[in-house]
């Protein structure tokens, strides 16, 4: 059974810092891994998606890496801003009968202080 | 282009009642999936529909059901509500159910269900 873990559960940093969020998963048989952002009371916004054959994806100040063999992914946020404050969730999509179904981690709640 | 629309935004129900939640996907999207989000369990997959067929189902009791219409709109129903069903219910749509970098999953803002 696939399990996804995110560390740390919460993080508070001053504006301008570079930071890394971690995600680990137990079953390497994945189709893809995605990072989402969730603002309070809102739905999820897709940030980056890494296919199982890829090692990383970049979008602006965000970079996500994937090491499928070790079951790890990291989300790197450069030059953090107060607007980055949100909960960040990683999720994996499995293969075969598990395709179409996302397994989520519990999230990392990030606060960026001005 | 309109996003994923979920109605209603808030619902308060009593134990034992039933509830129906609605989700209108982005135009052209044929896959709709549903998730339950609670503080204790986080986000958990309920089911996924594609072209009116349920393709995948999570580990929820039979009280949770859903359907998808020919216009891709979807509804989920929860019967005999329990206190533990209080949660944010999110639906997501995509073209095929398998998101890609160019065609990601789009989530609605959810329906907040409170069972008293």
**Digit-coded pLDDT (tens) for A55-96:** 999 999 999 999 999 999 999 999 999 999 999 999 999 887
pLDDT in tens, B7-63: 999 999 999 999 999 999 999 999 999 999 999 999 999 999 999 999 999 999 999
pLDDT at residue B12 in the model: 98
Q: How confident is the model at residue A41 (pLDDT cuts 50, 70, 90)?
A: confident
For residue B97, list chain A residues with Cβ-Cβ distance below 8 A: 99-100
Interface contact flag, A101 B45, Cβ < 8 Å: yes
B53 inside 8 A of chain A by CB: no
Look at residue B1 and tell me whether its pLDDT is greater than 70. no
Give the pLDDT score at B6. Answer: 97
Contact residues on chain B for A43, CB-CB shorter than 8 A: 4, 90, 92, 107-110
Using alpha carbons only, give the angle A51, A56, A57 rounded to the nearest 5 degrees. Answer: 85
B56–A104: do the CB atoms touch at under 8 Å?
no
Burial class (CB in 10 A: 0-12, 13-18, 19+), A23: buried
Which residues of A are less than 8 Å from B56 in CB distance? 97-101
Spell out which residues of chain A touch residue B44, defining contact as CB-CB under 8 Å.
Answer: 104
Residue B67 reports pLDDT greater than 90: yes
Q: What is the mean pLDDT of residues B77-100?
A: 94
* CB A23 within 8 Å of CB A72: yes
Judged by a CB distance cut-off of 8 A, whether residue B35 touches chain A is yes
Question: What pLDDT band is residue B97 in, cutting at 50, 70 and 90?
Answer: confident
Q: CA-nearest residue of chain B to A102?
A: B45
CA distance B68 to B49: 6
For residue A31, give the nearest of A107, A87, A88, A103 by alpha carbon.
Answer: A103
Sheet with strand A72-77: strands edge to edge: A4-7, A19-25, A72-77, A62-67, A56-59
The predicted structure's pLDDT at residue A85: 98
Pairwise CB contact (< 8 Å): A43 & B50: no
Query: Of A49, A100, A106, which is closest to B97 when you measure between CB atoms?
Result: A100
């Amino acid at each position: 059974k696939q399990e996804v873990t995110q560390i740390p559960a919460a993080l508070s940093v001053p504006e301008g810092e570079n930071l890394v969020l971690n995600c680990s998963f137990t079953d390497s048989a994945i189709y893809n891994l995605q990072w989402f952002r969730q603002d309070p009371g809102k739905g999820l916004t897709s940030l980056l998606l890494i296919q199982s054959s890829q090692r990383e994806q970049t979008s602006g100040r965000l970079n996500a890496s994937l090491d499928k063999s070790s079951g790890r992914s990291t989300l790197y946020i450069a030059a953090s801003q107060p607007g980055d404050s949100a909960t960040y969730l990683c999720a994996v999509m499995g293969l075969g009968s598990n395709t179409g179904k996302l397994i989520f981690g519990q999230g990392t709640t990030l606060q960026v202080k001005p | 282009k309109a996003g994923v629309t979920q109605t209603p935004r808030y619902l308060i129900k009593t134990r034992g009642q039933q509830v129906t939640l609605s989700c209108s996907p982005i135009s052209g999207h044929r896959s709709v999936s549903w998730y339950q989000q609670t503080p204790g369990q986080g986000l958990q997959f309920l089911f996924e529909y594609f072209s009116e067929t349920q393709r995948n189902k999570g580990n929820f009791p039979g009280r949770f059901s859903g359907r998808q219409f020919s216009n891709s709109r979807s509804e989920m129903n929860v019967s005999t509500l329990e206190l533990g069903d209080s949660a944010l219910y999110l639906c997501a749509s995509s073209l095929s159910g398998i998101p890609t970098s160019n065609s990601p999953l789009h989530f609605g803002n959810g329906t907040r269900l409170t069972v008293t």
